[in-house]
Amino acid sequence: MKETPERKNSWFYKWFLNNQLTVILINVFLVFLIIYLFSKVSFVFQPIGQILGITMPPVILALVLYYLINPLINVLESKFHVNRIISIIFVFIIILALLIWGVMSLIPFVQSQLDSLIKNWPQYWNSLNKSLQNMFSDPRLHLAKERLAATNTSVTKSFEKSMDQILPQTMNNLSSAVSILTNVLVILLTAPFILFFMLKDDKKFKESVIKFMPDRIKQSVGDMLSEISQALSSYITGQLTVAFWVAVMFFIGYLIIGQRYALVLGIVAGILNLIPYIGSTLALIPSLVIAAFIAPGMVLKVLIVFAVEQTVETRVISPIIVGNKMQMHPVTTILVLLVSAGMYGLVGMIAGIPIFAILKIIFTRFFNWFKRNSNWYSTEELIENSPKPDVLKDTDNSKKIHK
C-alpha cells in the first residue's frame, strides 16, 4: 500500500507509526509483558531449574578445571605432537598422583593444625577481649569500654545460642548431611568424566553450537563464543594462580616471623583471595587474633607480612598474571561485587565478575549490531569516522601553485 502525503502528515503517523520514542516504549512494554506472563507460568520451568541445579555443579567444576588444563594439553598436542587423548590421560594420571600425595602427606598436617586452631580459638578470643578491655581502662574511654563489653556479650550470646540450635539440628538432620555428602561425592565423581570429553572435543563444541545458527550470524556468534571463552579462561586461570601465590607468600611470611598455624592461615588466605579486593583483608583477621594472644610485637610482624604481600601481589603478581584482561573499571568491579554479594552472598561475590563479563560481551556485540543496522548513529558515525577533507593536500597544492 502506497503511503499518501495526507497519511504521512497525519498525527497518528507522526506520533505512532514514524516515532522512534513510541516504538521504543512499545518494545519495552512488550518485554515487560513477556516477563510478566513468564512469571505467571513459572511452575512450567521448575523442572528445568531442578535439572540445572543437578547438572550445573559438576559442569562448573569441570569447566574450571578445563580452563586450567586445556593450555597444557594444547602445548603437548601442538609442540610435542602427542596425541590429544594420550595427553589428557597423562595429565589425569599426574593430577591423580598429586591428589594421592596431598591426601597422604599434606592433609593430615593441615588437619592437625586446624584441629589445634579450633580447640584454642576461644582462648585466643578471650585473650584479645581482655587486652582490649585493658586498653580501654582509661576513664576517658569508659563509654567505648561499655560499648565493647556490650558488643562482646551480644556476640558471645549469639554464638552460644546458634551452637545450641545447630547441635540438635545436626543430630536431627543426619539424613540431610548424608544427602549433602552424597551430592558432593557425585559431583567429584562426575566432573572428571565431563572434563575428559570437554578436553577431547575442545574444537567441536563451538562448531556444534554454530551449525544451528543462520548463515548470516554464524561468524558473529563464533567470534562471540571465542571472546567469552577467552574472558573466562583469563579470569579463572588468573584468579586461581594469584590465589596460589598469595597462599605461598603468606605461608612463607608467617614461617619467617614464627606465626602459629602458618600453613592453615596461608591456605585460608589463598581461598579468601578468590573474593576480589577484600579476600586478603578477611584472611588477616584470624591471624591478628592469634598474634595478639602470642605477643603485641607479633601483631606488628603480621601487619608487615600483610603489607609486603599486598605490595608484591598488586605490583608484581596481579599485573603479570591477570593484568587488565577483564577490561573493567575498578568502580564497576566494586558495584558488581556489592550487587552480587547482596543478592547471592559469597557465591555471588566469586561468580559476579565473570558473569558480568559474559553479559558485557553479549550486550556490547548486540549494541554494535544495533549501531550498524540503525539510522540513529549513522550520521554521527559517518561524521566521526569519515576521513578528514584533504585540507593538507589542497594547502600543499596551493603552495605549489603559489610558488
* Residue entry with cell 545460642: 161
Through-space distance between the first and last CA atoms of the chain, rounded to whole angstroms: 63
pLDDT digit string (tens) for 168-214?
554 455 455 567 778 888 888 999 999 999 999 887 888 888 888 88
Q: What is the pLDDT, as a whole number, of residue 281?
A: 84
Neighbouring C-beta atoms of residue 353, cutoff 10 Å: 19
By three-state DSSP, how is residue 191 classified? helix
Q: What DSSP letter does each residue of 163-178 carry, written as one string? A: HHHHHHHHHHTHHHHH
Which grid cell is 8? Answer: 504521512
Alpha-carbon distance 278 to 333, whole Å?
A: 12
Which stretches in the chain have pLDDT values below 50? 1, 163, 166-167, 170-171, 174, 382-383, 385-403
Alpha-carbon distance 119 to 113, whole Å?
A: 10
Q: What is the pLDDT, as a whole number, of residue 4?
A: 57
Q: What is the pLDDT, as a whole number, of residue 345?
A: 81
Q: What is the pLDDT, as a whole number, of residue 168?
A: 52
H or E stretch including 13?
none
Q: What is the pLDDT, as a whole number, of residue 212?
A: 85
Q: What is the pLDDT, as a whole number, of residue 104?
A: 84
Alpha-carbon distance 232 to 241, whole Å?
A: 14
> What are the Cα distances from residue 21, in Å, to 33, 38, 51, 140, 359?
18, 26, 41, 65, 25
Q: What is the pLDDT, as a whole number, of residue 228?
A: 92
Q: What is the pLDDT, as a whole number, of residue 9?
A: 62
Q: What is the pLDDT, as a whole number, of residue 158?
A: 59
Q: What is the pLDDT, as a whole number, of residue 269?
A: 93
CA angle, residues 225, 227, 229, in degrees to nearest 5: 70
